[in-house]
Structure 1
Amino acid sequence: MTKNSKAGVTVRQKPGGKIFLKPKKPVSLVMLSSGLDSLYALVKILTETDDIVLVHHVHIINNENRHEIEATRTRQIVDWCQKKYRRFRYSESTINHTGFTGFGFDIMSVAFEAGMVCRSFYQANNYPVSKLLTGWCTEEEPYPGRAPHVKAVVAANSFPYEPPNFFFFDRVTKMEEARYLPPELVSLSWTCRQPVMLPDGDVEECGKCASCEIMQPIYSMQKKAVGS
């Protein structure tokens, strides 16, 4: 049996046999939406742990037409965090629900893709993703009875490998998330579910959806900071 160190993992191999890779550190997957909750989770996992970090964004295309601005902001966030904190693996995938009258809960689509990321990671590395982070604030309560289905979707697409464990930092308010994060990152986040297209091609928040209503105090805080 030989043992070597390689890229944060322990490499074991019997003479002439298969190579097995065992991580020296936990592997955490952050499903990054560009919203404040998942951004908060990403920064905490990067700065408060030494986990191997994977980050994945799902382009959820539906009748809300928010996928383009979310993709733009997510890539800007990833670039910022890679430069300011530390390196991590980033990937993307797409789910298109255009034309459906209803398109379900985003978390179900995100969970399905999370399972695919975990399954692919295991197949490539012979060891599992141990933690899955999606972000969650105190203002937003989960839909009753939804949690078991979310876990089942992750497990279904991780099969035949073990799914990761859902991991949450202590829940805090949106305002506490915003105060924890650098102002530059808060300004890059995108939460609005019904973006308004301007004549010049730019995009702005609608200010009316439930997500915008929760963010209003934070938008006000940002405006005061800029004006001071």
Structure 2
Amino acid sequence: MEKNSPEKPTILCMYSGGIDSTGVIHELMTNEKYVDHPLIVHHIHIWNRENRAKAEAAAVNAVLSYYQKNVERKFLVTESTFSTMGFAALRSNRFPFDMDVCAFFSGNICAARKDIGFVAMGRTKTDVDSGGDNFAMRMKRAQAIFKSVLSLEERKLPEYIFPVVDFTKKEIWDFLPEDVRKNTWWCRRPIYEEGKRPKPCGKCITCKDVKDFANASV
């Protein structure tokens, strides 16, 4: 069958530029299980008090540029913006989880594109093993949001897929090409200096999760 045949359902990949979703991108670009499916890669510029939108956008641009230049697989890149900066006036200590935002946006994209049959997300073995009941409940809620958005659609619901769920974060890091690896972003509180590439804070939960392999390699 010819690659990207319209007979196969389109895969929508929600891409943040982080290690997990970059692993998903790599699988979708190189794994024979996925390469015959048309592919849409969507990035959400999430603006909140963590202020990581610029760092993530730079990672997304660099990584996708690599695959556009080095892999024959064709894909469509789209983007949107979600901001909770206005929450400051409410003195809110919380803002929506990324996976809830992704579920809402992916549901709406699927409503607009009837050819989408799968939504690819960056869930990993590390998430499953360490996240416990809280992570499972958050995943269940996100999928409920996704289904709710599509509740008025007269069609079979697209399926969530997790191409790197059998890999730990370190295993994903190890199989990524070096030029991809060095451009991923993981820190939740980036440090910005004018004229320089953003730096990881080294203190947030994700920096601590990857300190034994990622920080030493970049």
Q: Same fold (TM over 0.5)?
A: yes
SS of residue in 2 equivalent to 1:132: strand
Letter in 2 for 1:112: F
- Contact 2:187–2:200 at 8 Å: present in 1 too? yes
Q: Which sits farther off after the overlay, 133-142 or 103-112? A: 133-142
State the distance in 2 between where 1:193 and 1:42 align: 20
Q: Which runs of structure 2 are paired with 1:159-198 in the superposition (5 Å)?
A: 159-160=152-153, 161-169=155-163, 170-198=165-193
Residue 214 of structure 1: CA displacement? 1.1
Letter in 1 for 2:208: E
TM-score by length of 2: 0.84
SS of residue in 2 equivalent to 1:204: coil
Query: Paired residue for 1:134?
Result: 121
Q: Which runs of structure 2 are paired with 1:110-121 in the superposition (5 Å)?
A: 110-121=102-113
Identity level (%): 29
Give the paired residue count: 200
Which of the pair has more CA radius of gyration?
1
Query: Paired residue for 2:18?
Result: 35
State the distance in 2 between where 1:104 and 1:147 align: 13
Query: Paired residue for 1:14?
Result: none
Greater length-normalized contact order (CA 8 Å, ≥ 6 residues apart)? 2
Query: Paired residue for 1:87?
Result: 74
Q: Which runs of structure 2 are paired with 1:1-228 in the superposition (5 Å)?
A: 23-48=6-31, 49=34, 50-85=36-71, 86-100=73-87, 101=92, 102-122=94-114, 128-140=115-127, 141=131, 143-158=135-150, 159-160=152-153, 161-169=155-163, 170-222=165-217
TM-score by length of 1: 0.80
State the distance in 2 between where 1:46 and 1:130 align: 17
Letter in 2 for 1:151: Q
Letter in 2 for 1:165: E
- Contact 1:154–1:163 at 8 Å: present in 2 too? no
Cα distance change, pair 119–178 in 1 and its aligned pair in 2 (3 A): same
Letter in 1 for 2:142: V
Query: Paired residue for 1:12?
Result: none
Q: Which sits farther off after the overlay, 191-200 or 53-62? A: 191-200
Q: Which sits farther off after the overlay, 87-96 or 150-159? A: 150-159
Letter in 2 for 1:83: K
Residue 221 of structure 1: CA displacement? 4.7
Query: Paired residue for 1:16?
Result: none
State the distance in 1 between where 2:10 and 2:117 align: 5
Residue 171 of structure 1: CA displacement? 2.1
Cα distance change, pair 106–220 in 1 and its aligned pair in 2 (3 A): closer
State the distance in 2 between where 1:221 and 1:171 align: 24
Letter in 1 for 2:44: V
Write 1 or 2 for the structure with the bigger share of strand. Answer: 1
